[in-house]
Structure 1
Amino acid sequence: MRRALRDNGLSIGFGLLFLAALVGQAFAGQAAYNDRQLADAGASISLAQYVTSSDFAVDVAENWQSEYLQFFLYVFATVWLVQRGSPESKLVEETGTESDKKQKVGRHATANSPEWARAGGWRTTVFSRSLGAVMGLLFGLSWLAQSIAGRAAYNAERLAQLQDPLTWLGYAGSADFWNRTLQNWQSEFLAMGSIVVISIYLRQRGSPESKPVGEPHDTTETSG
């Protein structure tokens, strides 16, 4: 058990942080929702009612989709774009999908390589792009969930104001939807760009996201 916890500490740690933050968001969101209800002479709702509401769903989904977009773009961008001196970038001269030998696929695979890396043909092609494909799929699904939940929450407000509800396409093109979407996207793009550039000049000893403390600033693709 102790070894399993050590070997999987990063995923377990972030999994627990995720659950704690989600629970905290549920309680804080319920309190904020009930405050608005009281201000509008509406009825308060229970925690169970809140976490199954469109208000909670859209808040969660809009954050998830921006995070998956971040990883989806980062996975693909780092194939072709490089940043000299950043540990977040591969070597400048290795731009592109790289050779089969470098990627250890087909006849260059080792005995310990995943089966689909050794198989060749369509299975290796699919496996070679599976990370980006899954990140893209998760982004698409969470963005769809945001649009569905956001439409329900937005239409509830419109009905309360005696306005006609919007169709899904109408909401997907609305200012409310794109305001929610773009305010998350810009923060993700800023965060990605910041870590790429700042990690050229600053260090964090022992972190694979940083170069070794004594490495020159222009050293690229070196973990600490």
Structure 2
Amino acid sequence: MRRFLRDNGLSLCMLAIFLAAIVGQSFAGWAANNEELIGHSRPAIGYGQFVSSSAFLVDVAENWQSEFLQFFVFIFATIWLIQRGSPESKKPGNAGVETDEQQLVGEYARPDSPRWAKMRGLRGWLYANSLLITMGAIFLLSWFAQSLGGMVQMNEENAEHAAAAVDWVGYVSSPDFWNRTLQNWQSEFLAVGAMVAFTIYLRQRGSSESKPVGVPHATSSEEAE
């Protein structure tokens, strides 16, 4: 168990923070929702009813979709685009998907390489692109969940004000949907861009996300090895 915790400490730490944050969000959101209901002379709802509501779904999904879109775009961009001096980038001249020999696939796979890395055809292609495919799939599912939850929430509010209901197409083309969506996207890509740029000139000793402290600004981590 001690070895498992040591070998998986980073993943377990992020998972623990995520679980604590989403539980905290659910209770804070429940309290805020009930304050709003009481303020409109309506009865408060139970915790279970809140966490299964469209209001909670849309708040969670709109953050998830922006996070996974961020990683999807960043993973794809780092295949082809270079930022000299950033440890988040390959070194200049290495843009592209690289050769089979560089990637240790097919006939160049090592004995201990993953089994699908040794395969050709569709299975080999799927494994070689599995990270991008997974991130993209989670983004699309989260985006769709956000759109459904937001549509239900909007129609509940419309019913309270005797306004007409909207369908899914109407909602995803509405200002409300894109206001909620784009305010998340802009913050995510600002954070990624700042990370790429800051790591050219700033250091954090001991972090895999930083170059060694003494490496010149214009030198990437790959070039320093």
TM-score range, shorter chain: over 0.9
**Match of residue 63 from structure 2:** 63
**Match of residue 185 from structure 1:** 185
Matches within 5 A, 1:29-68: 29-68=29-68
Residue 108 (structure 1) aligned with residue 108 (structure 2): yes
**Match of residue 148 from structure 1:** 148
Over the residues paired in the alignment, what is the CA RMSD in angstroms? 1.2
Q: Which amino acid aligns with 1:60?
A: V
Aligned mates of 1:180, 1:221 — CA distance in 2: 37
- Tell me the CA shift for residue 104 of structure 1: 0.6
Give per-residue Cα distances to partners, 1:70-113, cap 9 Å, x unaligned. 11111101000110000000111000111111111111110011
Aligned mates of 1:128, 1:111 — CA distance in 2: 17
Aligned mates of 1:60, 1:108 — CA distance in 2: 43
Matches within 5 A, 1:1-224: 1-222=1-222
* Aligned pairs, number: 224
Q: TM-score, normalised by structure 2?
A: 0.97
Give per-residue Cα distances to partners, 1:28-82, cap 9 Å, x unaligned. 1011111111221111111111101100000000000001101111110100011
- Tell me the CA shift for residue 124 of structure 1: 1.3
Q: TM-score, normalised by structure 1?
A: 0.97
- Tell me the CA shift for residue 221 of structure 1: 3.2
Q: Which amino acid aligns with 2:189?
A: F
- Tell me the CA shift for residue 220 of structure 1: 1.1
Give per-residue Cα distances to partners, 1:160-216, cap 9 Å, x unaligned. 011011001110111111011000000011011000000000011111000001111
Partner-residue secondary structure (3-state), 1:92: coil
Identity of aligned residues (%): 54
- Tell me the CA shift for residue 121 of structure 1: 2.3
Aligned mates of 2:121, 2:150 — CA distance in 1: 42
Aligned mates of 1:221, 1:126 — CA distance in 2: 28
Moved over 6 A (4+): none
Q: Which amino acid aligns with 1:208?
A: S
Aligned mates of 2:155, 2:123 — CA distance in 1: 45
